[in-house]
Amino acid sequence: MKVNPKEVSLGAMHNYLLSSIGPRPICFASTIDAKGNKNLSPFSYFNVFSTQPPIAIFSPAKSGRTLTQKDTYHNAKETREVVINVVTHDIVQQMSLSSTAYAKGVDEFAKSGLTPIASELVKPFRVKESPIQLECKVRDVIELGDQGGSGNLIICEILLMHIDESVLDENQTIDQTKIDLVGRMGGDYYVRANGDALFTVPKPIRNLGIGVDQIPDKIKNESIFSGNDLGMLGNIEAIPSSEDAKAFKNELGIENDWSSQLTKAKELLAEEKIEEAWKVLID
Ligand SMILES: Cc1cc2nc3c(=O)[nH]c(=O)nc-3n(C[C@H](O)[C@H](O)[C@H](O)COP(=O)(O)O)c2cc1C
């Protein structure tokens, strides 16, 4: 199936995009208007784009239904300040409630039952229940169009980050198993980043992997290996020596038995033992 954006409805395009590009982080944006009225709304057109300067961008889009701009867009343009709060599983229902299209000036902190606390460098309030709050100044607003569904990039420079100690590990870094972030997917779906949903992949940047193209065809063409298995085998700096391989296979009692070697290698890869997997596969 192919989707040409010019040939489908706005709603259909919206669904195709939001169901494909995900999970998306959620910017829980706190702003105020020129009169000081608080506003709090979630936006999943959001990410971080630069570390120096530290820049996050989110996009309140012009409504496809009412053809009006969101209050957050007006506030960000007017007062040039935003606090971005991260969304964890503990506050996902209150966050969702705050996305209701309340009239301008209605305080979504009160509507959602979340607690506003003062920021240090900007006027918008932080969400107390969110473990990470970013005080930002708006560097730029880029309007991407004037139609329903047109996004507006709110380019935010992070001035100060607040991190709740409960999500830190002993090295003062943010523990990914503690933070319990949620992400937005298509339809009514969200994803919760904890438990079995979390896994690690060692960064290839730390070594120069030989690459899948350097794996001998005899191994590469075995259907037992998936793309992920080949990716792991390719992420080794040097193929182990045949002496090491021989000794290892001898120890396991699987010398000259290709089918057992393949089964063992598959098992070792599942345990992320790449060096050992190589040793059972080479002559
Ligand atoms: C999880 C979530 C993510 C959302 N992401 C966006 C988004 O990226 N852009 C957008 O325009 N609206 C998004 N919305 C809808 C807005 O939150 C909603 O239109 C809100 O009423 C805007 O409030 P405001 O007019 O007070 O700024 C999202 C809603 C939810 C629940």
Q: What would the pLDDT profile of 4-44 be if each residue is shown by its tens digit?
A: 999 999 999 999 999 999 999 999 999 999 999 999 999 99
Does the residue 2 lie in any domain?
Answer: no
Does the residue 86 lie in any domain?
Answer: yes
The atom number, within ligand 1, closest to the CA of 58 reads 8
Same domain, residue pair 131 and 218: no
What's the structural domain count of the chain? Answer: 2
CATH number, residue 187: 2.30.110.10
In this prediction, residue 207 carries a pLDDT of: 75
Same domain, residue pair 25 and 161: yes
- CB distance 99 to ligand 1 below 6 Å: yes
- CB distance 152 to ligand 1 below 6 Å: no
Burial label, 221 (beta-carbon count in 10 A; 0-12, 13-18, 19+):
exposed
- CB distance 60 to ligand 1 below 6 Å: yes
Cα dihedral sign for 244, 250, 252, 257?
A: positive
How far apart CA 162 and CA 173 sit, in angstroms, is 13
What pLDDT digit, counting tens, does each position of 201-241 carry?
887 766 789 999 999 999 999 999 999 999 999 999 999 99
For residue 90, give its domain range. Answer: 10-197
- CB distance 190 to ligand 1 below 6 Å: no
131 C-alpha to ligand 1 centroid (Å) = 21
pLDDT-derived band at 89, boundaries 50, 70, 90 = very high
pLDDT-derived band at 103, boundaries 50, 70, 90 = confident
97 C-alpha to ligand 1 centroid (Å) = 11
Same domain, residue pair 39 and 173: yes
Measured by CA distance, the residue closest to atom 6 of ligand 1 is 43
Same domain, residue pair 108 and 209: no
Final residue before a domain boundary, out of 172, 197, 222: 197
Same domain, residue pair 110 and 229: no
Q: What is the mean pLDDT of residues 51-65?
A: 97
- CB distance 70 to ligand 1 below 6 Å: yes
Same domain, residue pair 68 and 131: yes
Same domain, residue pair 165 and 243: no
How far apart CA 97 and CA 93 sit, in angstroms, is 6
98 C-alpha to ligand 1 centroid (Å) = 9
- CB distance 72 to ligand 1 below 6 Å: yes
- CB distance 96 to ligand 1 below 6 Å: yes
Same domain, residue pair 193 and 63: yes
Does the residue 3 lie in any domain?
Answer: no
0.85 surpassed by pTM: yes
Region class of 187: left (phi > 0), else alpha (psi between -120 and 50), else beta: left
Same domain, residue pair 22 and 153: yes
The atom number, within ligand 1, closest to the CA of 63 reads 11
Does the residue 243 lie in any domain?
Answer: yes
Same domain, residue pair 156 and 173: yes
Measured by CA distance, the residue closest to atom 5 of ligand 1 is 43
Same domain, residue pair 190 and 214: no
- CB distance 150 to ligand 1 below 6 Å: no
Does the residue 124 lie in any domain?
Answer: yes
What pLDDT digit, counting tens, does each position of 164-190 carry?
999 999 999 999 999 999 999 999 999
Does the residue 264 lie in any domain?
Answer: yes
Does the residue 163 lie in any domain?
Answer: yes
- From 25, 134, 122, select the one nearest 85 (Cα to Cα): 134
Same domain, residue pair 132 and 21: yes
Final residue before a domain boundary, out of 197, 232, 251: 197
